[in-house]
Amino acid sequence: MKSDSPPNSHKTFHVKSFGCQMNVYDGERMAEMLGAEGYVPAADGSDADLVVLNTCHIREKAAEKVYSDIGRLKRADGSTPTIAVAGCVAQAEGAEIARRAPSVDVVVGPQAYHRLPDLIARAERGEKAVDLDMPIESKFGALPKRSGNQRPTAFLTVQEGCDKFCTYCVVPYTRGAEISRPFADLIAEARALVEGGVREITLLGQNVNAWDGEDDKGRTIGLDGLIRALAKEDGLERIRYTTSHPNDMTDGLIAAHGEVEKLMPFLHLPVQAGSDRILAAMNRSHSVDSYLKIIERVRAARPDIAISGDFIVGFPGESDADFEATLDIVRATNYAMAYSFKYSRRPGTPAATMDDQVDEAVMNDRLQRLQALLNVQQQAFNEATVGRTTRLLLERKGKLDGQLIGKSPWLQSVHVIAPGLAIGDMVDVRITSAGPNSLGAEALVEAAV
């Protein structure tokens, strides 16, 4: 007798995502697709029938790390699971992955992963399934509707691709041109997440503040309009967004930080360098002065806002004076947290062929000096919150009995002993201690909601 079970109901899968938050979102959507096809998550990723490596191409040697991960999937008996390589390395390396790693069955780029089930079916028929298309139509319409999230926080991609063409960056080549998802689709997806228990949504995009669209009344709006619309959704308590470009920080978005209560006081706004000469070589299209004026305006709108950023040291041609200018902009901005990296030469980008590539030892020294300054600022920001009363959204269990970990409005991890409370609760706390990467707190009430 024919079974009524889905065709893949006894098969297991594991999605391993690397890199940015957009990759995390993509990985979650791929998992949802596979679940809709009857696959079930593997208890142990190494034992899965299907493994999806959702890759990131931002850092140097990313492709080599993928091949190492593929090699580790080989089991003791010599067998391998069905292997799919997805994401930006897949887009950049293309069919070379299938040629170099015969155990790979599927190669799919970040704009074509909605076709993953069909590609897996082709692989099961013995084909090498490769799809690196960047279709004009949005992949999002082909993805299953969002359902229960099982967590109180979720990512929501609102914008993809990049038209900025920074000279060091591969994103325009692996993710394609900037596109904004339709307003109605985003409201519907956010509503489904909230109905599934989500209380905080982070809006994602390569240049998230470049999002634009038409609202339900046909009016053209930007990201601030989308945020204001989402803030009206009952049950959604918090809104965040990342990553932003200085050129897209509109007056409306800056104002929203002071006017929308649900928009958290946190802004990730990468500057990358503190030298106008290096910024021009990077094709960043903003200056040190214009960046600092944006920061000043944002702080005027929301005085308690936490500012985060990104930095690259050792960009081709960076002199000692250029690097000192980067330290100067860090001092002027006073970051709550920041990410910093050595310049990584990416094949196919203009910067990869520039003269005056900086020596590795020089880059290492500059990175250590920059990170030392950023760490001092982060510690000082954390210490300044000691004694403050704030609200946490509890997200996961801590290591101690009764301990839960939540995020403050300023995106700090906060540990609190909270018997009787559960993941997803919001609780009022008083910050009692500060470390370099997290805070300690005491609960003031059993639950804030």
Confirm or deny that 88 is annotated as ligand binding. Answer: yes
> Which residue positions in the chain have pLDDT lower than 50?
1-5
Query: What pairing do the DSSP bridges indicate for beta strands 426-434 and 438-443?
Result: antiparallel
* 376 contacts: CB under 8 Å, gap ≥ 6: none
Query: What pairing do the DSSP bridges indicate for beta strands 220-222 and 179-180?
Result: unpaired
What digits encode the pLDDT tens for the residues 274-318? Answer: 999 999 999 999 999 999 999 999 999 999 999 999 999 999 999
Confirm or deny that 421 is annotated as ligand binding. Answer: no
Confirm or deny that 169 is annotated as ligand binding. Answer: yes
Concatenated DSSP letters of 167-200: TT--HHHHT-S-EE--HHHHHHHHHHHHHTT--E
pTM for this model (two decimals): 0.83
The whole-number pLDDT of residue 129 equals 85
Give the C-alpha separation, 158 to 202, whole Å: 10
Give, for 110, the enclosing helix (H) or strand (E).
Answer: none
The whole-number pLDDT of residue 135 equals 65
Give the C-alpha separation, 222 to 204, whole Å: 14
Sign of CA dihedral 296, 158, 107, 33: positive
Query: What pairing do the DSSP bridges indicate for beta strands 212-214 and 159-160?
Result: unpaired
* 287 contacts: CB under 8 Å, gap ≥ 6: 276, 279
Q: Which two tokens stand for residue 70?
A: 């593929």
Residue in the structure block whose two tokens are 């021009």: 280
Concatenated DSSP letters of 228-259: HHHTTSTT--EEEEE---GGG--HHHHHHHHH
Q: Which two tokens stand for residue 173?
A: 């080549």
Mapping DSSP to helix (H, G, I), strand (E, B) and coil, where does residue 104 land? Answer: strand
Mapping DSSP to helix (H, G, I), strand (E, B) and coil, where does residue 300 land? Answer: helix
Q: Which two tokens stand for residue 32?
A: 């949802």
Give the C-alpha separation, 64 to 55, whole Å: 11
Strand partners, 379: none
The whole-number pLDDT of residue 324 equals 98
Answer whether 140's CB lies under 8 Å from 181's CB. yes
What digits encode the pLDDT tens for the residues 111-165? Answer: 888 888 889 989 888 888 888 887 655 666 666 676 655 789 999 999 988 999 9
Confirm or deny that 432 is annotated as ligand binding. Answer: no
Give the C-alpha separation, 295 to 316, whole Å: 27
Angle at alpha carbon of residue 148, lines to 143 and 153, rounded to 5°: 95
Q: Which two tokens stand for residue 28?
A: 């979650």
Give the C-alpha separation, 306 to 198, whole Å: 23
Residue 32 has phi, psi (to 5 degrees) of: -65, -40
- Tell me the CB-side half-sphere exposure of residue 38, using CA atoms within 13 A: 11
Torsion angle in degrees (nearest 10) through CA of 411, 413, 416, 421: 60
The whole-number pLDDT of residue 346 equals 84
Residue in the structure block whose two tokens are 């998550």: 41
